[in-house]
Amino acid sequence: MRLYLINPANPLVSILKVKESRWNRYRVWKPLGLMVLAGLTPPGWEISIVDENLGAPDYPAMPRPDLVGITAFTSQANRAYEVADYFRRLGVPVVLGGIHATMCLDEVINRVDSVVTGEAEGIWAQVLEDARHGSLKRRYDGGLAEIGDVPFARHDLLATGYAFGAIQTTRGCPLNCSFCSVTAFNGARYRQRPIADVVREFKLIREKRVLVVDDNLIGTRPEHIARAKDLFRAMARADLRKEWVGQATINFADDEELLALAAKAGCKGVFVGFESPTPEGLVEIGKKFNLLKGRDFRASVRRVQRHHILVVGSFIIGLDVDEPGIGRHIAEVARQYGVDSINVGFLTPLPGTRLWDRMKSEDRLALNTFPQDWKYYTLTFPVARYKHLSLDGIIEEMVACDRNFYSTPRILRRVWRNLWQRRAPLISLVANLSYAGNSRLDSKVYADFKCQQGNRDW
């Protein structure tokens, strides 16, 4: 039985534009969900993972599969449906799973043969068995997996073409920020994989550099942090010789021992969600965690950096409290914090989030012809009606923010500082050049976007 597992591309996602900005080569990440699905697939199935992000596959030239499984974030849904149509026309059954299928079941169910909602660990074997007998059900629900049942991802598949390997060590997040899908999809209970499994799986990864995809690597409570320390100790003891980057909340900076252990385990960079430069903004999105009394972001960033770990700050433009000038304000605040690079997105109501419910009920989804408009739900396009910012206005804020933070002298200053302080200067250079290149690309993309969308009702 031949199984294709497909990750559809969205041509509007700028980090996939490798030709236009060669630094993006280092930022095409592996579709870990499909590698885990492959790990769950019993022997007897011949598996190919097709990542369209590596280039357009020639499906007609490929052998006919017996089953196709497609994954999709919301921004990939349109292409997922095109691929599904192609294979269904050939009479090949198509199963769609992942976050979009879970959040938009009613839309997805009419476009494929079968939908799997939730995490796949508890249900995939059943789906395959039913497919083998030609008796696929329309819908399966995997719910939340027992964390000890997460298999090793198939790191032997997709072994070339990427700068980074990928692994997951925890699932879920208790913080439930209003714009984020993680709590709705993976649950509020923070689930940690057995440490021995994580260490053994790390050893299967061929790349020297690894992305730890966890949404919140260390968690929020003392017992989470204690487990994170145990994990880092075990990784250091195993002498993995990997360099890795991950995502964490700012409490990562609160514990010197944790930072020292993370660095010893190979941590080279951490992506931190600051989200808004103002307390009002943090209250609006429900990230009160960042507001804990006495928090000094600049000191926190410094503490992380002293362990030779880069800090990438993530921010959002378009909150109800954001007024003209927010773009420059974010760039300035990020400089004051001293972060090594920033990633700024437009506030985007993603289905299944509290933000979606609120904006939809207030009739503020400007791009609302679905499924066609999903391709713009990448966080790199304004898709909603923002309280104090027009369509032109919010784009200008984004451009001003990028120009300010990624001006050539500022990039050079940051990279020089990284070199001087022995803080992953190469990764910093690539991250800065890639972000800067993409913001230049984005300026062109915005011009086209405004031509196409400007006459809609904003």
Q: Return the number of the residue (181 or 439) whose C-beta is nearest ligand B12.
A: 181
Q: Which residue has the tokens 């390997």?
A: 165
Q: Return the number of the residue (180 or 253) whose C-beta is nearest ligand B12.
A: 180
Please provide residue 391's backbone torsions phi and psi, each rounded to the nearest 5 degrees.
-60, -50
CB of 41 to ligand B12, least distance (A): 10
Helix (H, G, I), strand (E, B) or coil at 6: strand
Contacted by 393, from ligand B12, ligand SF4, none: CB < 5 to 8 Å by type = none
Q: Return the number of the residue (96 or 383) whose C-beta is nearest ligand B12.
A: 96
Q: Return the number of the residue (16 or 355) whose C-beta is nearest ligand SF4.
A: 355
Residue 248 one-letter amino acid: A
CB of 313 to ligand SF4, least distance (A): 13
Contacted by 93, from ligand B12, ligand SF4, none: CB < 5 to 8 Å by type = none
**Bridge-partner residues for 114, per DSSP?**
95
Distance from C-alpha of 398 to C-alpha of 285, rounded to nearest angstrom: 19
Contacted by 216, from ligand SF4, ligand B12, none: CB < 5 to 8 Å by type = ligand SF4
Q: Which residues bind ligand SF4 (CB under 6 A)?
A: 173, 175-177, 180, 182-183, 215-216, 249, 273
CB of 99 to ligand B12, least distance (A): 5
Please provide residue 235's backbone torsions phi and psi, each rounded to the nearest 5 degrees.
-65, -40
DSSP 16: G
Residue 150 one-letter amino acid: V
12's torsion region: left (phi>0), alpha (psi -120 to 50) or beta?
alpha
Distance from C-alpha of 224 to C-alpha of 172, rounded to nearest angstrom: 12
Q: Residues 6 or more apart from 60 whose CB is under 8 A from it?
A: none
Q: Residues 6 or more apart from 89 whose CB is under 8 A from it?
A: none
CB of 265 to ligand B12, least distance (A): 19
Contacted by 339, from ligand SF4, ligand B12, none: CB < 5 to 8 Å by type = none
Distance from C-alpha of 393 to C-alpha of 397, rounded to nearest angstrom: 6
Other CB atoms closer than 10 Å to residue 279's CB: what's the count?
12
Distance from C-alpha of 96 to C-alpha of 292, rounded to nearest angstrom: 41
DSSP alpha helix (H) spans, 118-267: 124-132, 182-186, 195-204, 222-237, 256-264
Q: Return the number of the residue (191 or 264) whose C-beta is nearest ligand B12.
A: 191
Buried b (16+ CB within 10 A) or exposed e, 308-346: bbbbbbbbbbbbebbeeebbebbbebbeebbbbbbebbb
Distance from C-alpha of 57 to C-alpha of 103, rounded to nearest angstrom: 28
The span from the first CA to the last CA of the chain, in angstroms, equals 50
Contacted by 14, from ligand B12, ligand SF4, none: CB < 5 to 8 Å by type = none
CB of 335 to ligand B12, least distance (A): 22
Q: Return the number of the residue (153 or 262) whose C-beta is nearest ligand B12.
A: 153
CB of 285 to ligand SF4, least distance (A): 8
Contacted by 273, from ligand SF4, ligand B12, none: CB < 5 to 8 Å by type = ligand SF4
CB of 288 to ligand SF4, least distance (A): 11
Note the Cα 87 to chain centre separation in Å. 27
Q: Return the number of the residue (81 or 337) whose C-beta is nearest ligand SF4.
A: 337
CB of 448 to ligand B12, least distance (A): 18
Q: Return the number of the residue (48 or 176) whose C-beta is nearest ligand SF4.
A: 176
Q: Return the number of the residue (213 or 384) whose C-beta is nearest ligand B12.
A: 213
Note the Cα 58 to chain centre separation in Å. 27
Contacted by 378, from ligand SF4, ligand B12, none: CB < 5 to 8 Å by type = ligand B12
Q: Which residues bind ligand B12 (CB under 6 A)?
A: 7, 10, 13, 29, 31-33, 36-37, 69-71, 73-76, 95-100, 103, 116, 119-121, 124, 145, 168, 180-182, 186, 213, 215, 345, 350-351, 378-379
Contacted by 175, from ligand B12, ligand SF4, none: CB < 5 to 8 Å by type = ligand SF4
CB of 322 to ligand SF4, least distance (A): 17
Contacted by 337, from ligand SF4, ligand B12, none: CB < 5 to 8 Å by type = none
Q: Return the number of the residue (253 or 379) whose C-beta is nearest ligand B12.
A: 379
Contacted by 7, from ligand B12, ligand SF4, none: CB < 5 to 8 Å by type = ligand B12
Q: Describe the chain by its helix, strand, coil percentages, rounded to 5.
A: 45, 15, 40
